[in-house]
């Protein structure tokens, strides 16, 4: 446990966050954190349930005098994105997050921090463990696998929850109240390709590496114009057939919901063409660095000599695959015509793995409108199929339709204005929240989402604002005291 972080204000919340961050909790590998939460609830003497998919539900009766208030669900997800810089030695499966304080921010050394959604979980833990916080009857819903499929929310059965209001603690700007979000779909393109042997005595090998990009959340940050390492490096490889560039491997990105920060290709070239080819590639590098100078100041693109690979992709397959990646849409696809500054639809070309005769490209398509989500997915499908790929759609989950007449929205906006003498921004976000999925089995539940300020989620630059966490905590305590009475 990080002692420095645990001493921050409010200490109860930060202490629970530090304890949580000592437990490995990667998406689809949450067994240890599930047991951690089960023990937590049982040790408090509270009814604690693990459902058939691994979600944890902890129930706490209303505090004295609050029994007549509507019962609520406090909801956050247990898993976190495990990402680290290539030069960071860290084993997520064995080590707790190495946190430190930098001014008014809590950060992690070379890895994701887990504030998404660990601060929400720690807040719920603090309320469950409290003896002096006024609150109605509470069901804590701690879901699994939010980051890579939302299978926890999808698997939650109807009838498990009895709350009338759900507070989702999973957004990342402390002056915003979310009432809607995008849905998502995984698009996976795969194909085989032909390889050919080359005479290594007549060819030279080299590697191109892209690193130093900001990356970030493929929903929240997709409109910021940040560089996608896979698209950048593919751009460098494109169009060099005349100079004899031959691709051996292409590997970049990691998770579908993280904008790729690093990517690399291993190539070969006839030795007599090497100088001309590298001159052309370096000119492209100069152009790209100029384009991204203001938004990606730490972008690094390096060319290094390596032992020449003895096997490369066939020229025909190389042309088709690189062209398909070039044509695949990345970034904002459409802005909402109805909600100002809201991204309606987007795609992230998230992960590319091309080696040993197999090519695999992973994308995450998002939209707040089901028809445009399918439009983006079908656009990608068409692009990849033209290049001989097989394309599969999976992991489809719905968006959350905004309800501007939500009763709990009125409670939160009034409280925020009273506490801060200004209006909160009522928004819909382009990230995926579990509210839309949960609403399918609980259509009458009134839902809202809010959270502290978190920057750089899904990347090793992730950080959470300390002052904002205190603001979020105090806001939550006021919300609990002002839950409406039962009708």
Residues annotated catalytic, as ranges: 79, 146
- Report how far residue 69's alpha carbon sits from residue 481's, in angstroms, rounded to the nearest whole number: 9
Quote the Cα angle for 381-385-388, to 5°: 150
Q: Residue 260 phi/psi, 5° resolution?
A: -60, 130
Radius of gyration, CA atoms only, the chain: 24
Do residues 409 and 179 touch, judged by C-beta distance below 8 A?
yes
- Report how far residue 387's alpha carbon sits from residue 475's, in angstroms, rounded to the nearest whole number: 52
Do residues 472 and 450 touch, judged by C-beta distance below 8 A?
yes
Sign of CA dihedral 476, 172, 164, 51: negative
For residue 162, the tally of other CB atoms under 10 A from its CB is 11
Quote the Cα angle for 22-220-175, to 5°: 85
Strands, DSSP E only, in 32-122? 47-50, 56-60, 72-77, 99-102, 105-108
Distances in whole angstroms, Cα of residue 423 to Cα of each of 161, 260, 412, 413: 32, 35, 10, 7
- Provide CB contacts within 8 A for 402, sequence distance 6+: 179, 180, 339, 428
- Report how far residue 288's alpha carbon sits from residue 236's, in angstroms, rounded to the nearest whole number: 9
Do residues 148 and 50 touch, judged by C-beta distance below 8 A?
no
- Provide CB contacts within 8 A for 468, sequence distance 6+: 174, 452, 453
Secondary structure percentages of the chain, helix, strand, coil, to 5? 30, 30, 40
- Report how far residue 293's alpha carbon sits from residue 465's, in angstroms, rounded to the nearest whole number: 27
DSSP 26: B
């Amino acid at each position: 446990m990080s002692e420095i972080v645990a001493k921050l204000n409010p200490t109860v919340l930060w202490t629970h966050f530090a304890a949580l961050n000592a437990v490995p909790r990667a998406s689809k590998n949450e067994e240890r954190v599930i047991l951690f939460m089960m023990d937590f609830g049982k040790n408090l003497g509270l009814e604690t349930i693990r459902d058939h998919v691994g979600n944890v539900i902890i129930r706490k009766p209303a505090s004295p005098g609050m029994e007549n208030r509507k019962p609520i669900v406090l909801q956050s997800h247990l898993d976190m994105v495990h990402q680290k810089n290539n030069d960071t030695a860290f084993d997520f499966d064995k080590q707790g997050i190495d946190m430190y304080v930098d001014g008014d921010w809590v950060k992690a050394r070379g890895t994701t921090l887990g504030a998404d959604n660990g601060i929400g979980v720690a807040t719920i833990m603090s309320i469950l463990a409290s003896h002096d916080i006024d609150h109605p009857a509470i069901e804590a819903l701690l879901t699994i696998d939010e980051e890579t499929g939302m299978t926890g929310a999808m698997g939650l059965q109807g009838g498990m929850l009895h709350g009338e209001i759900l507070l989702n603690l999973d957004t990342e700007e402390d002056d915003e109240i979310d009432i809607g979000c995008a849905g998502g779909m995984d698009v996976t393109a795969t194909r085989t390709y032909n390889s050919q042997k080359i005479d290594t005595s007549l060819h030279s090998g080299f590697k191109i590496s892209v690193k130093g990009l900001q990356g970030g959340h493929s929903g929240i940050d997709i409109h910021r114009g940040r560089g996608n390492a896979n698209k950048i490096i593919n751009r460098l490889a494109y169009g060099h057939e005349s100079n004899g560039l031959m691709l051996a491997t292409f590997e970049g990105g990691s998770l579908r919901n993280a904008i790729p920060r690093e990517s690399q290709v291993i190539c070969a070239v006839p030795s007599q063409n090497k100088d001309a080819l590298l001159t052309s590639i370096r000119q492209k590098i100069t152009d790209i660095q100029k384009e991204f100078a203001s938004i990606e100041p730490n972008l690094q693109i390096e060319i290094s000599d390596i032992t020449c690979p003895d096997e490369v992709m066939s020229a025909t397959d190389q042309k088709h695959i690189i062209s398909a990646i070039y044509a695949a849409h990345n970034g904002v696809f459409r802005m909402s015509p109805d909600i100002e500054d809201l991204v309606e639809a987007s795609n992230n070309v998230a992960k590319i793995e091309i080696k040993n005769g197999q090519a695999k490209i992973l994308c995450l398509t998002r939209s707040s409108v089901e028809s445009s989500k399918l439009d983006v997915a079908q656009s990608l499908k068409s692009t990849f199929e033209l290049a001989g790929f097989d394309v599969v759609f999976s992991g489809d989950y719905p968006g959350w339709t905004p309800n501007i007449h939500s009763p709990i929205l009125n409670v939160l906006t009034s409280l925020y204005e009273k506490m801060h003498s200004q209006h909160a921004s009522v928004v819909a976000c382009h990230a995926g929240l579990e509210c839309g999925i949960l609403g399918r089995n609980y259509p009458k539940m009134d839902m809202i989402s809010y959270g502290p300020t978190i920057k750089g989620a899904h990347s090793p630059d992730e950080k959470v604002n300390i002052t904002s966490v205190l603001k979020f905590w105090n806001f939550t305590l006021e919300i609990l005291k002002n839950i409406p009475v039962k009708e």
